[in-house]
Amino acid sequence: MTDYSNYTKEDYLKLYDKPLDELIKISHEITEDNFDNTVEACSIISAKTGECGENCKYCAQSKHNHANIECHPLMDTETVKKAAISAKENGATRFCIVTSGRVPDKNDFEKIIEMIKAVASIDGLHCCASLGLLSEEQIKRIKEAGVERYNHNINTSPNYHKNICTTHNFDDRVKTVELIKKHGIEACTGVIIGMGETREDRIDMALELKKINPKTVPINFLNPIKGTALENYENKINEEEILKTICIFRVILPKALLRYAGGRTTRLSKENQQRGIEAGINSLLVGNYLTTTGSKPEEDKKILEKEGLKLSV
């Protein structure tokens, strides 16, 4: 098999130009060489929704945008625990507590610690969290409470980041991930594609992730939401380009779990969702997402069965 580890950015661009079927064959072989036939399933809950002060152009929860969503303050621990139990019953082995905002305030953070402990106590379910740009002390606290993996995406490339958000920079995101790993928490760090970035930007994203070396890489596809600054970006990327990008990410990140995350049910047909799994997707975000509707567990299981795969337990 070809060794792609020393490829340059220009080499990856040439790889992008290969026919889709050939690219899928390459990435499928890489996946088979590094993984078994199980697919990880993760479910999330938006424990606090909306009123975020960051100005990310894609986000329905930003106060700088005007999306029509239902905002709510931090949920109570019992509600979150019940949702986690339900997620487990539907096949999830991981459950992620997600809150909007740059960082939780002191009162919310103490309540979140109790949520983490409650979810971590559920047998057979791994607790994850996505709580923004945490300090080192806060990271120590969530680790002690039971968080095993932390989601903090780079979202886009270093060069394109200023076109998407200006209230924090790319380095802020990377620093948070480095702190997470420093304290023994696995990194779940991914991207959003289809925000107007180029192929070069997408390769840069994958190369930055290669440096970070996260356990899981969620690949989100922009779902343009009315009221956000990117509401008219429906045609910035097509299904073939999405599939090629999945392949390129697998080539550059042969040992990372590549996760279908937000946007896949609206930006990919069922046939192409299956082709993405053939190409190397081996982790799924199941159930609903933060402010949009996701897939039904039984539909995902049918897709996996067609590829001879099964959910991990």
Identify the active-site residue in 59, 127, 165, 247.
59
Residue of 94, 149, 259, 264 marked active site: 259
CA distance 181 to 190: 15
- 60 in Cβ contact with 225 (< 8 Å): yes
5 falls within a domain: no
Q: What is the pLDDT of residue 297?
A: 66
* Residue 4 forms part of a structural domain: no
Active site residue 165: no
In a domain, 187, yes or no: yes
Q: What is the mean pLDDT of residues 111-126?
A: 97
Given a cut of 80, whether residue 293 has pLDDT beyond it is no
Contact 289, 49 (CB under 8 A): no
Q: Parallel, antiparallel, or unpaired: how do β-strands 281-285 and 257-260 relate?
A: parallel
- pLDDT tens across 239-286, in order? 999 999 999 999 999 999 999 998 998 999 999 999 999 999 999 988
Average pLDDT over residues 13-20: 97
Provide CB contacts within 8 A for 182, sequence distance 6+.
136
pLDDT category at 289 given cuts 50, 70, 90 is very low
Q: Has residue 313 got a pLDDT over 80? A: no
- Residue 311 in 3-state DSSP? strand
- Annotated catalytic residue 141: no
User: Residue 46 maps to which CATH number?
Assistant: 3.20.20.70
Q: Which two tokens stand for residue 255?
A: 């040992």
Q: Report which listed range, 76-90, 140-154, 298-312, is most confident.
A: 140-154
Cα 126 from Cα 123, distance rounded (Å): 8
108-112, 157-161, 215-219, 298-302: lowest mean pLDDT where? 298-302
Q: Which of 52, 127, 165, 247 is catalytic?
A: 52
* 7 within a domain of the structure (yes/no): no
- Whether 71 is catalytic: no
Model confidence at 292: pLDDT above 50: no
Of these residues, 42, 127, 128, 165, which one is catalytic? 128
Q: What is the pLDDT of residue 104?
A: 94
The catalytic position among 42, 127, 165, 188 is 188
> What percent of the chain is predicted at pLDDT more than 90?
83
- pLDDT tens digits for range 187-246: 999 999 999 999 999 999 999 999 999 999 999 999 999 999 999 999 999 999 999 999
Token duo for residue 10: 């220009």
Q: Is residue 121 part of a domain?
A: yes
| Closest residue by Cα to residue 146 from 164, 175, 119 | 119
Question: For residue range 64-94, what is the model confidence (pLDDT) as tens digits?
Answer: 988 888 889 999 999 999 999 999 988 899 9
Using a 10 angstrom Cβ sphere, with 0-12 exposed, 13-18 middle and 19 or more buried, the burial of residue 174 is middle
| Angle of helix 297-306 versus helix 270-279 axis, rounded to 10 | 60
- Asked if pLDDT for residue 306 goes beyond 90, the answer is no
Q: Which of 267, 218, 224 is nearest to 243 (CA)?
A: 267
Q: Is the pLDDT of residue 154 over 50?
A: yes
Q: What is the DSSP string of 248-308?
A: HHHHH-TTSEEEE-TTHHHHS-HHHHHHHHHHTEEEEE-B--SSS--B-HHHHHHHHHHTT
Q: Looking at the chain, how many residues does it have? A: 313
Under the banding of pLDDT at 50, 70 and 90, the label for residue 45 is: very high
149, 186 contact by CB (below 8 A)? yes
**Residue 149 falls in the annotated catalytic set:** no
Which domain range does residue 226 map to?
Answer: 13-311
- 138, part of any domain: yes
* Annotated active-site residue in 42, 94, 96, 202: 96
Establish if 180 belongs to a structural domain. yes
Averaged pLDDT of the chain: 93
Which pLDDT value is given to residue 303?
Answer: 79
Instruction: Tell me, yes or no, if 127 is annotated catalytic.
Output: no
Are 40 and 108 within 8 A, CB to CB?
Answer: no
Which pTM does this prediction carry?
Answer: 0.94
- Residues facing 187 on adjacent strands: 150
**Count of structural domains, the chain:** 1
